[in-house]
Structures are given as C-alpha cells and as structure tokens.
Amino acid sequence: MTDDLAELRAETDAALAACADLRAWDVVRVSVLGRNGRLTALLKELGKTPAEQRRERGAALNRLKDALAEAIESRRIALEAAELETRLAAERLDPSLPPRPMPGGLIHPISRTMEEMAAIFGAMGFEIAEGPDVETDWHNFSALNIPAHHPARDDQDTFYLTAPAGAPPPVLRTHTSPVQIRTMLERPLPLRVIVPGRTYRADHDATHSPMFHQCEGLVIDRDITLAHLKGCLIDFLRAFFAAPNLPVRFRASYFPFTEPSMEVDIGWDRKSGELGKGSDWLEILGSGMVHPRVLANVGIDPRAWQGFAFGMGIERVTMLKHGIPDLRPFYESDIRWLRHYGFNPLAPAMLHEGA
Ligand code: DAH
C-alpha cells in the first residue's frame, strides 16, 4: 500500500474510533465514501495515473475501498448496539416500585358496593339490567300488582311529574322493582339480573334521603323454588359481609309483587354493631317468589315459569359493612369524608378477595 493509502486507512480508523454516536459516524462515512469523500477523490484521480502503474494502483484502491467500507459498517453496528444499551439502561422499569398514591379521585362507597354486588352476583350468572329514573305509573306500581288506591302506595309517597292530559302522571321511581317488569318484557327467558340504581321517595331525615339507591334482583326460570331464593341470598350475604358463618333468617312478610314474601334478617350485636355476633336480628332486604299475577301482567305463563325477586337498600348495607354511622354525608361531597371512606380505584372489587 502506498503511503497516501495507508494514511487514509489510519486516519479513517482513528476517526471511526473517535466518533461517539451515529451522527458523528455518518460525518466520517461521508468524508471518506461520499461523493466528495477522500476515497472517491482518489478513485477519480486514477485516470491521471501513468498507464504502467494504473493497474496496480486500481487494485490497491479497490482493496482499500472494501476494507474501509467494512470498517465503517462494523463501527455502525457497534454504535447502534451501544445506543440501544444506553436506552435500555435509562428506561429500566422497576416492577417492585409501589404504585404512587392517587393525587385525588377515590371510588365512592355507593359505587364500591354496586361493584361488589356485580362481582358476587356476576359469579352466580346474573347480568346487570337498567331502567329509567322517571317511570310510568304502570311499571312502578300497577304491573307490580300495586293498583291505584292500594295502601302499599302510601309507603312510597313520592314525586310525581306533570302528566300529559288524561294520562297517569309519570313518577320518579320509588324502587328498582319496575326494572323487573322492563326486563321480563325485553329479555328472553330464562333470565337472571340485578338492577343497581337510584330511587326516590319524599322522605328526609337522619336515616332517609329523598334520593337513595337500591339493588333489585330477579331470576325467572322453569322450576325455580324458594330453596333457590334462600341459597342465593345466603351465599350473597355471606360473601358481601365477608362472614362465612353469618346467621341469616327468613321471616314471612308481605309485598304486593311476591307470594310468598319474606323479609331477610342477618344476625348481629345491636350494642357493638358487630355482624354475625350476638343475638339480635337486623332487617336487610325484602324478597319473595314472583307473584303469578306479575308474570301474567308481562305475558309470561306462571304455570311454565317461576321466579324469585329481592330488593335491598345500598346505603344501608354499605353503612353496616363499613361502620358508617350517618346517611347524610353520602351525598354531601365533603372531600374529607370521601377521603376517609373512599376506595382505591386501582383495587376494584374482586370475588376472590371475598369482595
Ligand atoms: N321494592 C321493595 C321496596 O322498595 C323491595 C323489594 C321487596 C323488592 C321484595 C323485591 C322483593 O324484589 O321481592 O321496598
């Protein structure tokens, strides 16, 4: 190799070694192999070489070109690998790092209870159904076997809206039970639904709010019996209150839309408020076998299909489960109360935790 070629080789090697990143590398590459690069210039000058030396010089230049191209390429590979290493090191993820506390935003206890109910009943094959807050008199009362002037309407003295002339006034639904009617009219049988949602009654004191929440349940199938109702509700209550031996009592009662009807009580200690302890009973929900007349009202043959239904107050079970003493702060949006009783949105209700 002649001196000038050896010099180009040595200088290129040094320049490649000195470049710290791909941008510097590209400058070196262009300065050697580019259109105005040093090697390109030497190749262009080959024509001026005296004929007797041209062959040898040409061969030497070609060998140098191959060697330089290879050196440049291997430097590129090395630089790319180094850049990847640096990025991987900088972007390293530490899976043991605990989640940062949420700057704000917690799940309201009402929503949490609804999620837990969805998790527990979901595992039993229930779907969620919804209906409007503004109901027709028929869905809220008549179809549920509560005719006009029936004394059961007094319990649900409520908010009526202005009616179109001649029609019964629409009503803010007094319970989630009208969604039983809607679901039976809309969905194919058999069906299993729960209906968590808002309800309204003209009541306002320390334990009643004009707007509150209920969760309805409805199962319609062939050969459904009281045993299904009892098994389902006992399982639910024990899972919800995370108390595997929670005493549950079924007490005969009356609802116009079920026959027979039962109030469901759980065992607790009135003094300490502890659930599953002591010898007192606490009423938790209403339930019963769907009244044949209700089935007939939506065109279902009561001799072919039976079902059970239940309804419970969401605030009430939430207060019991979490030891919340007062109903009113549920709706006051007091950030201190929400921080105290709210739930981490990153830890949703899951059945395997006993909800
Ligand atoms: N709708 C009733 C109420 O608000 C609660 C209820 C009782 C619902 C018995 C039911 C049931 O589905 O079977 O007081």
Q: How far is the CA of 310 from the centre of ligand 1 (A)?
A: 6
Q: How far is the CA of 257 from the centre of ligand 1 (A)?
A: 8
Ligand 1 site: residues with CB under 6 angstroms? Answer: 175, 177, 216, 255, 258, 286-288, 309-311
Q: Is 283:269 a contact under the CB 8 Å cutoff?
A: no
Residue 248 lies in a domain: yes
Q: How far is the CA of 267 from the centre of ligand 1 (A)?
A: 21
Please indicate, yes or no, whether residues 148 and 267 belong to a single structural domain of this protein: yes
Residue nearest atom 12 of ligand 1, based on CA coordinates: 310
Please indicate, yes or no, whether residues 114 and 85 belong to a single structural domain of this protein: no
State how far the Cα of 173 lies from the Cα of 101, in Å rounded to an integer. 39
Identify the pLDDT of residue 286: 98
Identify the pLDDT of residue 103: 64
Please indicate, yes or no, whether residues 177 and 250 belong to a single structural domain of this protein: yes
Please indicate, yes or no, whether residues 82 and 135 belong to a single structural domain of this protein: no
What residue numbers bound the domain in which 30 lies?
3-90
Please list the pLDDT of the chain residue by residue as tens digits (355 residues): 678 899 999 999 999 999 999 999 999 999 999 999 999 999 999 888 888 888 899 999 999 999 999 999 999 999 999 999 999 888 888 888 887 765 678 899 999 999 999 999 999 999 999 999 999 999 999 999 998 888 777 777 788 898 878 888 899 999 999 999 999 999 999 999 999 999 999 988 878 899 999 999 999 999 999 999 999 999 999 999 999 999 999 999 999 999 999 999 999 998 888 898 989 999 999 999 999 999 999 999 999 999 999 999 999 999 999 999 899 999 998 989 999 999 988 887 877 554 4
Question: Sign of the CA dihedral 69, 70, 73, 75?
Answer: negative
Residue 299 lies in a domain: yes
Residue 102 lies in a domain: no
Nearest atom within ligand 1 for CA of residue 217: 12
Please indicate, yes or no, whether residues 178 and 37 belong to a single structural domain of this protein: no
- Looking at residue 196, the DSSP 8-state letter turns out to be E
Please indicate, yes or no, whether residues 284 and 343 belong to a single structural domain of this protein: yes
Give the domain-ending residue among 90, 125, 158. 90
Q: How many domains, the chain? A: 2
Q: At what angle do helices 22-33 and 38-45 cross, to 10 degrees?
A: 10
Residue of 126, 135, 139, 175 best suited for mutating to test ligand 1, as the one with most atoms within 8 Å of CB: 175
State how far the Cα of 307 lies from the Cα of 297, in Å rounded to an integer. 14
Identify the pLDDT of residue 1: 64
Residue nearest atom 7 of ligand 1, based on CA coordinates: 286
Identify the pLDDT of residue 102: 56
